[in-house]
Structure 1
């Protein structure tokens, strides 16, 4: 049996069926080996029949096998256009990447600058506390108050890392409860805490000098007393600022209606300082 390979064709077209049938027909045709060759009676006895042998130069059967090249998934995938085949899509992708990268670097630089240029915090506080025309001007007052809040939050986070998470959570919960209780008490009580404005201001300076003294004297009981005094002073400050905000029958309640930023800043500082002293108390107690 000889095999002959012709030009490749596609098997899916059905042309190979004709070739298979043709090969099968050739297989069924066999040479007649039992045929007798006889001569006429005058030529003598009949010759002994012999099976004919095929010539060596001629093929007995020829089968045609046609092989077609089929496309593989890898070949077909190369013809599909990728998502970045369009130049405009690539340019848009690059713009988005660099835009996000720029924002990330700016935010990182701003956070680093807070710790490098921390006097900015006090500059904003001074402007909001002393420059009445600026804190009444919209949107400058909102912008300054927002910057001050961000800076205060970052500095507060830097302080909180010296305590464990449980202590910070306890201090946060205690501050929230104390703030709510003092606010309700300040609104409903008949006592006028606005009269304590001068006393609290003097007490704040005493507390400041006491804190400077603790830098050189690291005594446990002095630190505990410092944290307790700070908690009491800023609790009274919270009562006074709430009563000044609600006004009414209190002696010092002459805030201008446009001083909402100043009132919010005072109460915010009271709560933040109250949180810091409560956190210090919890840290010393543990």
Structure 2
């Protein structure tokens, strides 16, 4: 029998308790083996004097096991990150950028068709219903992709939905680009590419954690939407210029945050490796909105 006494806590993760338990087991075995070698008196019943265990033997069989409260199962540092392996992170990032590149190529091709095909450009200008017909389908697919997590992870349904959303977004931008000159659209494309590349590099190397700004950016986006609705009824050059500038700033911050959510690592929040469609969708929308607001800025300045 081994008596265990709880004393001051130590850290079990350090392995300090193992030699105590091992020592207790070895001494217990040694005590039993020593008792087996003692012979009983040859004649008469064995008599005992005093208590069966002396105070000294009780002290010899008493060991201390110290328990630490530092290592708890709910400790966030012991939980494995989805990006615990570097290969998983690299594969996730490569897949997201490949999907994003395909989306941008498809969107650019559709915009070019609306921009340089004069017959189609004239038809869109004469038939405004085409733009309003795209909007409901665009928002339905966007809501499905954003809210249906299981469907977003199912192949090939996720790729089909993302491809449909990309085509609808390209058609919507194409109907908007017909109101601008080809030179303005090209300048906006070049500026968007430069800003996107710069912000992506900044997000990858900075020590600032922009994933903590998720709630703040959502509030700013909500204010921007209300501001845009008011501008439908207010015709002011400076208010429209301020709106375009605020939109460019907000979606620049969103781009940095979404890139950090994708790469994970030392940031507070990150995306699950299975959410490659959601990551590509977020960054794609950031780039498209940046292009839209930069195009407005160029159109207003020119």
Shift of 1:257: 1.1
SS in 2 for 1:197: helix
Is 1:136 aligned to 2:153, yes or no?
yes
- Aligned residue runs from structure 1 range 46-195, under 5 A: 115-116=132-133, 118-195=135-212
CA 1:219–1:115 in structure 2 vs 1: closer, same or farther (change >3 Å)? Answer: closer
Equivalent in the alignment of 2:284: 268
Q: Distance in 1 between matches of 2:219 and 2:131?
A: 30
Q: Of residues 256, 261, 267 in structure 1, which corresponds to 2:272?
A: 256
SS in 2 for 1:216: coil
SS in 2 for 1:217: coil
Shift of 1:117: 5.1
Shift of 1:248: 0.5
What's the TM-score, normalizing by structure 1? 0.60
CA-to-aligned-CA distance 1:94-136 (integer Å, 9 cap, x gap): xxxxxxxxxxxxxxxxxx9775353111111001000000000
CA-to-aligned-CA distance 1:192-249 (integer Å, 9 cap, x gap): 1111100000000000000011111110000000000000000000000000000001
Q: Distance in 2 between matches of 1:247 and 1:117?
A: 35
Select the structure that is richer in helix: 2
Equivalent in the alignment of 1:200: 217
Are the counterparts in 2 of residues 163 and 283 from structure 1 also a CA contact under 8 Å?
Answer: yes
CA-to-aligned-CA distance 1:154-208 (integer Å, 9 cap, x gap): 0000001111011000000000000000000000000111111000000000000
Is 1:229 aligned to 2:246, yes or no?
yes
Q: Distance in 2 between matches of 1:114 and 1:247?
A: 38
Q: Distance in 2 between matches of 1:171 and 1:113?
A: 24
Unpaired runs of at least 5, structure 2: 1-128
Is 1:241 aligned to 2:258, yes or no?
yes
Q: Distance in 2 between matches of 1:276 and 1:125?
A: 18
Equivalent in the alignment of 2:299: 283
* Count of equivalent residues: 174
Are the counterparts in 1 of residues 141 and 161 from structure 2 also a CA contact under 8 Å?
Answer: yes
Is 1:212 aligned to 2:229, yes or no?
yes
Shift of 1:145: 0.1
**Which range moved further: 119-128 or 141-150?**
119-128
Q: CA RMSD in A?
A: 1.2
Are the counterparts in 1 of residues 134 and 172 from structure 2 also a CA contact under 8 Å?
Answer: no
Q: Distance in 1 between matches of 2:211 and 2:161?
A: 27
Q: Deviating runs (4+, > 3 A) in structure 1?
A: 112-115
Q: Which has the higher contact order (CA 8 A, sep 6+)?
A: 2
CA 1:114–1:281 in structure 2 vs 1: closer, same or farther (change >3 Å)? Answer: closer
Unpaired runs of at least 5, structure 1: 1-111
Q: Distance in 2 between matches of 1:272 and 1:228?
A: 15
